[in-house]
Every structure is written in structure tokens, then in C-alpha cells.
Amino acid sequence: MSAKKKKKILVVDDERSLRLTFRYALASEDMEIFEAIDGETALRWLEEQSCHLIFLDQQMPGKNGSEVLREIRERGDLTPVVGVSAYGTPDLKEKVASLGCSRFLHKPVTPDQLRRVAQDLLDQEA
Amino acid sequence: MTNRETSGTESRPAPLTTRVFFNLVPLVVILAGFGLFAFVVFVDFSRQVRDRMEMNQRLDLLADQVGANLSHLQSFLISNEFPRGFSTAEQEKLQEYLDEVTDDIDRLANLDTTQNSAAFFPKLRAAEEELYTALRDLSPGDSLQPKRAEWIAALNRLDRLLEEVGLANKAGAVQTEKLFDQLHRRVVTALVGGGSIAVIVAGLCCYFLARSILRPIHDLTNATSKIAEGQLDHRVSTRSADELGKLALAFNRMADRLQAFRRSQDETVVRAHQFMEATITSFPDPVFIFDQKQVLKLKNAAATDLLAAVGVHPDGIPPEIKEFLQRVFEGGESVPAEKYGDALTWRIRGRKKFFLPRAVMIERDSLVTGVALVLYDVTGFRLMDEVKSSMIGTVSHEIKTPLTSVSMVLHLLVEESVGPLSEEQRELVETALDDTTRLMDVVNDLLDMSRIEQGRVVLDFEPTDLGDWLQEVCEEFDTVLEARGQHIRLDLDEKVSQVWIDRQRMANAIRNLIENAHKYSPPDTEIELTLRQDGAERVQLSVSDRGAGIPEEIHDKVFEKFYRAPGLEEPGTGLGLSLTREIVRAHSGSITVRNRPDGGAEFTLHLRRQPHECKKEKEDSGR
């Protein structure tokens, strides 16, 4: 029962240290964290599985955050997405918002911020 | 004695009045001479006329008298036939008549001097003699009959002669008339001639008088007009040593000094102009001088080259410069060159060139008479600035990402979500977290700076009640300030109107100022925030502390990037004030610093109620 209730969260970031710290920050009994090292991996993972929330880094080698987001939405996948960037200009924020990005977080983020945002969005979905 | 010596050494000129007097003397003499001459001629003439007339009258009277006596004698002889000869009484009577006639003829002869009648006198005397002899020999009682015809004939002859004398006398009168005519003509000629000479002499006198007095005055008037027209080399010729001569000398001295003054002034102006031209020409950057009508008045070689390179006619002005000038004249104040974003750009020989325009108002008596425009070629700097800015961006990003994970790790450790920490471990991790946060702030400042400088930041303006908003900003500092016994005193003018600001950025700017005040003020002091309205369109916001103040010589430098005042012990990057200035500028405002008279530094933000960018945005969204 409890295993069924676990919310799946996908963290997409090319930086291993960030994936790791996100995992530790969000880790809890009712959350299951998955990682993708770039956009391609994330899109492939999403073809096979679904999740409740995606943390999506914007600056990545290969496909960048907004390109990945566009593809997700083009598939009709409406999973909430939180954009994360170290260099988030208002333009970028606006662009990803128009693609259906629910929230935007500027690096550095604190574990508290991550948890709050995640909780908010998961509650809304529920 | 002294007076006499003084007057002797001075060459005293004949005064003007003396000259006028001496010029008029000949005229008076001529007129007096002519009057005298006319008088003499007239007196002589009238005397001659009177003499002639008198003599003629007497001649006529005598001739009449002789004629009357002859008539008496004739009628006596004709009426008395003297048959018995005449008595003694009659003879005496006859003798008396005869004597009278003789006397008369004698007198007549003596009187008449005219040649015409003089010829008759011998004849008259002969006839008279004959009659007298005939009558003288008569004795009383002698018969007169035989002699009577002889006497009558003698008498008739005498009568005829007398008539001839009368005729001659009349002819003499005609001659006299002619003589009068001659005399009259001579007098008229003399008077006309004398009068003409007098007029000519008087004219000459007047001419010389006018020449000697009026001409110098005329010359002076002429010279004054010429000097007034600017012909400062004009001089008056000095002919005399009198008052006018002195005046001419003084005038010439004045003209000399004027000319010398003008020459020195001209030289100064020419020299100044040469200096100015040399200065402008030697300037490596293009320099344009415009008059108040925005007409190009002067440009240096670099400016000419620029116009040629841009492809504008040498006398033309590129539209970019025109537009900039328009703004300068509308603003009415000098525009310093500061932001690379304001640079004018032209493609010159295939390369994009950047020129930072700097306009300096040329003013006289607080009236704008022109603008000096210098275009600094900042192409090199601009490229460097772009490289630097993009480098800052990249480097910041590359620092920020690992810093985020470090900070996350430290946060997770402090939260003890991965396991409990000992006291020592906690202290160390917290210190590391503090430094990470500080490092992150620096990186954020750098990023903000590079973005604002590149004009990449789009500000989010909102109308804000500064008073309320400032209170909120200050509340954040309560804990930090309390730790040092400091507090903020707000002095807010309630009448301050709403101001359009990007609240997040402006809060950063104010935070930087409060943090500085906090860092550089001694404990237990007050930080003062003052808000004032400055005219209808501006507000002033000041943050002042009770620290040591900032040395005047570095007031300009404190806003430079990475500048740290010498001897500062507090940690800092030297970016805070620089970023604050950039934020304020992005709000079309400015920031100034001064030391308060009672100690401490005071930073003042001068903000527009509605920044230019904000206006533009509103206009754009309104379309």
C-alpha cells in the first residue's frame, strides 16, 4: 500500500553532484527519486515510464531544458515540470513558462526550497 | 618773476580768439579803405558839380544884366532924339549906363574861363571900346543925330556878341553836363571796382579763417567717424600749435593707445584661436564644434576622416550625431560619456566601430552658444568589455553550479538528514555554509553586474510607495543590526509620491548601502534613512552612517568595480556600490556620496518618479 503511494520524481541534470544532493534533499518515505544525466536519457525514460514531477536543468549538453520540455508537452505529457537554472534570465523564465513549466528555481537552491516546491506541486496534483 | 619765467619757457600758441581777430583785421582795413575812397571820390565830385553850377548861374545872371543894361542904353538912345543934344543929366545917365555895361563885360570876361566864350571877349572888348570912345567924346548939346546910326550899329554888334556869348555859355553847359557824366561814370567804376576788391579780399579772409579754424574741426570729426568705424590707423594732421592743434595731438595720442590696445587684444585672440585649433587638431578623437543652431562650425582632422569614412558629405552630419545633438539641446546640459551602450556605431571599412559621444555645452552668461562634441573611439574597449562581460557570465555559471551542490551538501549536513553531527562537526559545517553563502553572493553580484552592464536586464517596474517598501526592506536587518547594538532610524517624508521601481533590484541596491553602513559604523550607533521629494518628478533617498566617513579624494572611485578603499579591514569584494550605481542608473537615476558635517558618510540616490525605460515600456505595451 505504502509502496504504491510513493510519488515518482525525475531529476534531470548533467551534474552528478547536483543529482546526488537533490536525491538526498528530496529523499523521504513517500518519494521515489529517479535520475537522468541529460535530456535524451530523460525522454527515453519517460517513453517507458511516467512520474509525478520533473526537476529539469536548463543548461545541459545536447538537448537543453526547454527543448526537452517542448518534446514532453508535444507527446501530450502534462507532468508538472520545475525549471532549474544557474543563469536564469527573465527571458528564459518566460520562455519555459510558455512551454508549460510550473515553477522556476534559481541555483543555488536550498533543500528546504526543493521540498516546498515539490510538496506544493504534488499536493496540487493530488 | 616765476610767472614770467614759466611763460617764457613755454611756447605759448596764439590763442584761437587772437587768430580769429587777426584774420578779421585785413577785412576791416579793406572795408574802411574802401569807405574812405568812396567818401573822397564823392566829395570831389560834389564839389566840382557845385562849382560848375555856381559859375554857370553867375554867368547867366551877368549876361542877363549886360543884356538889360544894353537894352536900357539902346532904348535910351532910340527914344531920345537929342535934337538939341543932351543935357548934362542925360549925359551923366548915359555915362552911367555905359560904365555899367563896361563893368559887366569886364566881370563877364574875368568870370568865364571856358574857351568857347573866351574867344568872344576880345571882340566884346573891342565893341565896347568903340561904343565907349564914341560916347565918351560927346559933350552936352552936341547933336546926336549923325552918330546915332553908328551907335545903334555898335550896340547891335555888341548885342549880337552877347548873344554869341550866351550861346557859347550854353555850349559850355552842355560840356559841363558831359563832364558830369564822365565824373559820374568814374565814380561808379571806382565804387564797383573798390567794392569788388573788398568782396574778394573779404572772401579770401573768410576762406583762410575757415581753413585755419573749421578745417581742423572737420578733420577731427572725420577722424572720429573713421575710428568709430574701426579704422584705428587713421590720424589727424597737426598744423598749428593752438587749442585745435593740442586737441589734434591729444586725439592722435588716444588713437595710438586705442590701436596698441586693439593690436594686443587681436594678438591675444589670434593666439588663443591658434592654441585652440592646435589643441583640437592634435586631438586623436573626432571633435566637432556646433553653434546654438546645430550648425557645424569647426572640426578637426580626425572628424573629417570619420565623415569621409562614414561616407557623409564633408559638410554634412551623420543622422546618428544629429539625433544625439537633438537630445543634448533638448536636455540643455552636458552629456558625459559613460556607458558603452550609448556608443554611436558606424561600419567603417568593413569593421564595426564604436564611438562614445561626449557633449560639452559652450555657455556664455548662462546662455548656450554651442556644443563641443567629442567622439571617443571605444571600439577596442567595447570589444574587451564584451569579452569580459561574457567571461564573467560563463565563469559565474561555472562557479555557481558546483557552489550550489556544495551549499546543498552543507545544508543537508546541517539539517542532519544524512546523520547526526557532533558539536565540532556542526560548527565547521556552519562556517563552511556561511562562506559558501558569501561566495554565492559575490558570484550573484558579478552576474548581476555583467548583465546590467550589457543591458541584458529587463527591469520589472512597479509603482511603489517608497515609505512602506523601505520599512519592509529595513526589517530584514533588525537581527543583524541588533547584534552590534545598531538600529535604523527612518525619516520618511509622507508626501513623497509613488515611484516606479524594480523592487527586487532596488532592494538589492538599498541592502548594499545598509550593509556598508552597518559594516563601517561603530557599535551602538544609528543608521539613518531619509526620503524626500525633490521637485515634482524626483525623490531623494539617503542612507547615512556614523562611521569615519570616506576621504574626499576617493569619492569618485568608490563606485568603481572591485575598488576597495585602502586600509579596510572588513571583508568585501568592492562590487556592492558599483552594482548599486548600475541599478540606480538602470532606473534613470544617479547616486552621490558626501561626508556629513557631523561625521559619517551619506549616500544619496536621486530617483525619477518614472524612469525613461519605464515610460518606454508603458508606451510599447500601450500600442
CA atoms of B484 and A112, how far apart (whole Å): 29
- Do the chains contact at A18 and B415, CB–CB below 8 Å? no
CA atoms of B453 and B578, how far apart (whole Å): 11
- Tell me whether A76 touches chain B (CB under 8 Å): no
For residues B41 and B190, the answer to whether their CB atoms sit within 8 Å is yes
- Greater confidence (B245 vs A34) lies with A34
Confidence of residue B623 (pLDDT cuts 50, 70, 90): very low
- Do the chains contact at B400 and A107, CB–CB below 8 Å? yes
Grid coordinates representing B105 are 563885360
- Do the chains contact at B404 and A109, CB–CB below 8 Å? yes
Average pLDDT value for residue range B275-284: 84
Grid coordinates representing B256 are 595710438
Spell out where B313-433 has E strands: 344-348, 351-364, 367-377
pLDDT at B411 > cutoff 50: yes
pLDDT at B448 > cutoff 90: no
pLDDT at B10 (0 to 100): 43
pLDDT at B338 (0 to 100): 65
pLDDT at B617 (0 to 100): 54
Exposed, middle or buried, B188 (CB in 10 Å: 0-12/13-18/19+)?
exposed
Q: Which of B236-245, B400-409, B497-506 has the lowest mean pLDDT?
A: B236-245
Give the residue among B122, B78, B72, B120 at the shortest CA–CA distance from B100. B72
- Tell me whether B419 touches chain A (CB under 8 Å): no
- Tell me whether A11 touches chain B (CB under 8 Å): no
Mean pLDDT over each residue of chain B, to the nearest integer: 80
- Do the chains contact at B409 and A21, CB–CB below 8 Å? yes
pLDDT at B225 > cutoff 60: yes
User: pLDDT above 70 covers what percent of chain B?
Assistant: 83
Give the residue among B276, B286, B281, B275 at the shortest CA–CA distance from B321. B286
pLDDT at B117 (0 to 100): 55
Average pLDDT value for residue range B437-447: 82
Helix (H) or strand (E) holding A92: helix A90-98
Average pLDDT value for residue range B57-83: 71
- Tell me: the pLDDT tens digits for B168-198? 667 767 777 887 788 788 878 877 887 888 7
CA atoms of A89 and A103, how far apart (whole Å): 14
Chain A residues closer than 8 Å to B393 by CB? 87
Sign of CA dihedral B253, B255, B258, B263: negative
Spell out where B29-101 has E strands: none
Q: Which of A70-84, B152-166, B279-293, B538-552 has the lowest mean pLDDT?
A: B152-166
CA atoms of B88 and B255, how far apart (whole Å): 118
- Tell me whether B411 touches chain A (CB under 8 Å): yes
- Do the chains contact at A20 and B447, CB–CB below 8 Å? no
Confidence of residue B114 (pLDDT cuts 50, 70, 90): low
pLDDT at B622 (0 to 100): 43
Confidence of residue B109 (pLDDT cuts 50, 70, 90): low
- Tell me whether A24 touches chain B (CB under 8 Å): yes
CA atoms of B509 and B542, how far apart (whole Å): 12
CA atoms of B371 and B328, how far apart (whole Å): 9
pLDDT at B614 > cutoff 70: no
pLDDT at A42 > cutoff 50: yes
CA atoms of B177 and B168, how far apart (whole Å): 14
- Greater confidence (A85 vs B145) lies with A85
Average pLDDT value for residue range B522-546: 91
- Tell me whether A64 touches chain B (CB under 8 Å): no
For residues B169 and B112, the answer to whether their CB atoms sit within 8 Å is yes
CA atoms of B131 and B128, how far apart (whole Å): 5
Cβ within 8 Å of residue B551, ≥6 positions away: B565
pLDDT at B6 > cutoff 50: no
- Greater confidence (A52 vs B54) lies with A52
pLDDT at B508 > cutoff 60: yes
- Do the chains contact at B458 and A87, CB–CB below 8 Å? no
CA atoms of A93 and A105, how far apart (whole Å): 9
Residue type, B574: G
pLDDT at B603 (0 to 100): 95
Instruction: Name which of A11, A87, A113, A115 to mutate to probe chain B: the one with the most chain B Cβ atoms within 10 A of its Cβ.
Output: A87
pLDDT at B55 (0 to 100): 74
Chain A residues closer than 8 Å to B460 by CB? 90
CA atoms of B335 and B561, how far apart (whole Å): 22
Give the residue among B186, B206, B179, B213 at the shortest CA–CA distance from B18. B213
pLDDT at B425 (0 to 100): 93
pLDDT at A75 > cutoff 50: yes
- Tell me: the pLDDT tens digits for A50-65? 999 999 998 888 998 9
CA atoms of B566 and B306, how far apart (whole Å): 43
CA atoms of B551 and B565, how far apart (whole Å): 9
Average pLDDT value for residue range B43-65: 77
- Do the chains contact at A112 and B411, CB–CB below 8 Å? yes
Task: Please state the pTM of the whole predicted model.
Answer: 0.46
Q: Which of A67-71, B2-6, B420-424 has the lowest mean pLDDT?
A: B2-6
Confidence of residue A3 (pLDDT cuts 50, 70, 90): very low
Q: Which of A106-110, B241-245, B280-284 has the lowest mean pLDDT?
A: B241-245
> How far does Cα B223 stand from its chain's mean position?
16
Chain A residues closer than 8 Å to B434 by CB? none
Average pLDDT value for residue range B531-540: 89
Confidence of residue B9 (pLDDT cuts 50, 70, 90): very low
Given strand B344-348, what is the order of strands in its sheet?
A: B296-299, B287-291, B367-377, B351-364, B344-348
- Tell me whether A111 touches chain B (CB under 8 Å): yes
pLDDT at B465 > cutoff 50: yes
For residues B301 and B277, the answer to whether their CB atoms sit within 8 Å is no
Chain A residues closer than 8 Å to B408 by CB? 18, 21-22, 24-25, 108-111
Average pLDDT value for residue range B14-19: 71
Grid coordinates representing B346 are 558606424
- Do the chains contact at B447 and A109, CB–CB below 8 Å? no
- Tell me whether B397 touches chain A (CB under 8 Å): yes
Chain A residues closer than 8 Å to B402 by CB? 15, 17
- Which residue is listed with cell 536636455? B331
- Do the chains contact at A21 and B396, CB–CB below 8 Å? no
What are the backbone dihedrals phi and psi of residue B302, each rounded to the nearest 5 degrees, phi first? -60, -40
Exposed, middle or buried, B331 (CB in 10 Å: 0-12/13-18/19+)?
exposed
- Do the chains contact at A18 and B408, CB–CB below 8 Å? yes
What are the backbone dihedrals phi and psi of residue B299, each rounded to the nearest 5 degrees, phi first? -150, 155
CA atoms of B572 and B579, how far apart (whole Å): 13
- Do the chains contact at B400 and A15, CB–CB below 8 Å? no
Chain B residues closer than 8 Å to A18 by CB? 401, 404-405, 408
| Closest residue to A111, CB basis, from B400, B415, B456 | B415
- Tell me: the pLDDT tens digits for B587-603? 889 999 999 988 899 99
Closest alpha carbon within chain A to B446: A87
Residue type, A57: D
Instruction: Name which of B400, B411, B457 to mutate to probe chain A: the one with the most chain A Cβ atoms within 10 A of its Cβ.
Output: B411
